[in-house]
Amino acid sequence: MTITITSALGAGPDQGTVAAKQAVFRAPVPEDGPAVWNLVENTPGLDSNSIYYYTLWFRDFADGSLIATVDDEVVGFLTGYRRPDEPETYFVWQTAVNPRHGIPFLGIKLFQAAADQQVASGARYVEATVSAENKAIIMVLKQFAKKHSAHIETRVLFPSHLFADSHHDEVLYRIGPLTAE
């Protein structure tokens, strides 16, 4: 699946020109691993994984993940998968966008495209774990639930004491039931 998002960006009121930027959403390939790793390393607050992790993920779980590119540069990604014990549940693992990509609401559009794709193929629930401080992704989850007129349940999935570092509680957001539009 490839989706193209176009955004017209004004160059300014005195210049009278408009430049269009296009973001393309596509399935990841293993070769995207290093670029995604670099994006994660430069995004504060994200848990870091190895380049190997992303490369392997994009080989084995590409069907639940998306890459956003502008002019063939990786500017965003989302990793997710269908839960093996609950195949009607799509779990969003990690997502980030480069803040200098120039496309308004790119992170929201990326999440919605990935989740809508999974709902269209039978997912009835979308899940994600979020720290209470991550207001941006909480807003994205609430907007998605509202768009689908779906309920959100929240609970602590993994309390902070399970982690050796100063990791936060992982709060599960479960949206659904959902139906394809």
Q: Is residue 61 in a domain?
A: yes
Question: Would you say the pTM of this structure is higher than 0.75?
Answer: yes
Total domain count for the chain? 1
Position 4 in a domain = no
Q: 141-155, pLDDT tens digit by residue?
A: 999 999 999 999 999
Task: State yes or no: pLDDT of 19 exceeds 70.
Answer: no
- Domain membership of residue 156 (yes or no) is yes
For 34-77, the pLDDT digits (tens) are: 999 999 999 887 888 999 999 999 999 999 999 999 999 999 99
Establish if 155 belongs to a structural domain. Answer: yes
Q: What is the mean pLDDT of the chain?
A: 87
Q: Is residue 12 part of a domain?
A: no
* DSSP per position, the chain: -EEEEEEEEE--TTT--EEEEEEEEE---GGGHHHHHHHHHTSTTPPP--HHHHHHHHHHSGGG-EEEEETTEEEEEEEEEEETTEEEEEEEEEEEE-TTS--TTHHHHHHHHHHHHHHHTT--EEEEEE-TT-HHHHHHHHHHHHHTT-EEEEEEEE-GGGSSSSPPPEEEEEEE-----
- Any domain includes 22: no
The boundaries of the domain holding residue 91 are 27-176
CATH number at residue 154: 3.40.630.30
**Between 144 and 20, the higher pLDDT residue:** 144
13 is a domain residue: no
Asked if the structure places residue 144 within a domain, the reply is: yes
